[in-house]
Structure 1
Amino acid sequence: MDQSILDACLVCHSTREMQRGPVLDGLPEWYLAGQLREFKLGRRGNNPANRAGVLMGAAMAKVETEAQFTTLARHFAALKPKPFIRVIRGDIATGRAHYATRCASCHGARGEGKREIESPPVNVQEDWFLLDQLRKYANGQRGVHPSNAGGLMMKAAAAALSPDDLRNIVAYIAKDLTVTSPLQKVAPPKP
């Protein structure tokens, strides 16, 4: 593996707290390689309203070959998901109900994702990142490329939910579906 490319990835995709992008550890190789291709092809990372996506799109200039996609994806997929501090609060019961009716058919009952429909797992990702992405789908910063069917579907699904619904779903995922133990438990909001 080209260490300079991996180091460039880790500027944002580690827990070093430089530019915090999502931690990729434990995401499936098929999903990571697919997302790298989406950025390289301009189906992601081309909306100026989504600064983080544009930065990732620009970073893809370093990744030039299919072998590099595969090597990077394999590297991150082989790592264990990292525990994280839960920061999103919400109504767990409401989130569970919304997840069951609106999310599980694509992302799996345990948040494990479904490769056959290229739907990523949601049970390894930090809660702040999941909420950020749902908000970007809901407000049209993600899921806008006409060739990205999954993104368009997510955009429509997120737009149909209220900001509270999005928080509740993410709080449920973080509490009940995440495959790692939290670093710190978040107390429920005070009435």
Structure 2
Amino acid sequence: MTLSSVSTGIHAADAQRGKALYGTCAACHAVDAGGIAAMNAPALAGQDSAYLVRQLQYFKAGIRGQDPRDALGQQMQGMAATLADEAAVENVVAYISSLPTPANSKTIDYDRRNGEVQYNASCGACHGPGGKGNVSMNAPRLAGLDPAYLRRQYSNFAQGIRGSHPDDRYGRQMQMMATMLSTDKDIDDVMGYLLSQ
């Protein structure tokens, strides 16, 4: 497994084999890969395939989920380890990539104007307009993700729980950015804004 570059074989991956492997993932991430908030598992469908491959590689290599305070990340390390090799990672991601982005009907109370302003000032340059993700910046899609998941990841970056491994260069970038939203209200408003996108 090469961590210095994300595999380019996604297009040649076998989504049907990936579907069989995804059965294990569905218990937490849902059959449609739309995520299950009660399981603390984010939506995967609609996420960039290179990002998903990188995160699975990071979990398998102990780059993500290595902090003892990250119980959910450690749980995901164990799950990623069930993917035997790089082909299995690519196949499961090919299957996830074949699924439609899930519709989100959840809403929360937030100040839309403040959320949009704070997002554009602090997050939009990397994560793209409306949180749709930015492949050229290796920044994942945030739009429509569960606010509790996003808040936990933002907090994990800010506390050094996520992104502190020397081989996680994008995580280290995000650690620096995780101080941009300085109040709980701003964080909540950005989460609400992203949920609405």
Deviation at 1:63, TM superposition (A): 0.9
Q: Residue in 2 aligned with 1:182?
A: none
Which residue identity does 2:195 align to in structure 1? A
Query: What is the CA–CA distance in structure 1 between the aligned matches of 2:36 and 2:150, rounded to whole Å?
Result: 19
Query: What is the CA–CA distance in structure 1 between the aligned matches of 2:47 and 2:59, rounded to whole Å?
Result: 17
Gaps of 5+ in 1: 178-191
Query: What is the CA–CA distance in structure 2 between the aligned matches of 1:62 and 1:114, rounded to whole Å?
Result: 29
Q: Deviations over 1:160-187 (max 9, x none)?
A: 4222221111111112x2xxxxxxxxxx
Query: What is the CA–CA distance in structure 1 between the aligned matches of 2:173 and 2:107, rounded to whole Å?
Result: 27
In the alignment, is residue 173 of structure 1 matched against residue 180 of structure 2? no
Most deviating of 98-107 and 4-13? 4-13
Query: What is the CA–CA distance in structure 2 between the aligned matches of 1:70 and 1:134, rounded to whole Å?
Result: 27
Q: Residue in 2 aligned with 1:91?
A: 111
Query: What is the CA–CA distance in structure 2 between the aligned matches of 1:102 and 1:51, rounded to whole Å?
Result: 28
In the alignment, is residue 10 of structure 1 matched against residue 21 of structure 2? no
Number of residue pairs the alignment of both structures matches: 176
Which residue identity does 1:135 align to in structure 2? S
Q: Deviations over 1:48-103 (max 9, x none)?
A: 10111010011122112111111111111111122234354322211111111111
Cα contact 2:18–2:94 (8 A) shared by 1: no
**TM-score (ref. length: structure 1):** 0.82
Percent identity over the alignment? 27
Most deviating of 159-168 and 40-49? 159-168
Query: What is the CA–CA distance in structure 1 between the aligned matches of 2:71 and 2:147, rounded to whole Å?
Result: 19
SS at match of 1:110: helix
Cα contact 2:18–2:93 (8 A) shared by 1: no
Gaps of 5+ in 2: 1-16
Query: What is the CA–CA distance in structure 1 between the aligned matches of 2:144 and 2:192, rounded to whole Å?
Result: 13
Q: Tell me how large the CA RMSD over aligned residues is.
A: 2.1
**TM-score (ref. length: structure 2):** 0.80
SS at match of 1:120: coil
Query: What is the CA–CA distance in structure 1 between the aligned matches of 2:39 and 2:125, rounded to whole Å?
Result: 33
Query: What is the CA–CA distance in structure 2 between the aligned matches of 1:104 and 1:16, rounded to whole Å?
Result: 26
Cα contact 1:87–1:128 (8 A) shared by 2: no
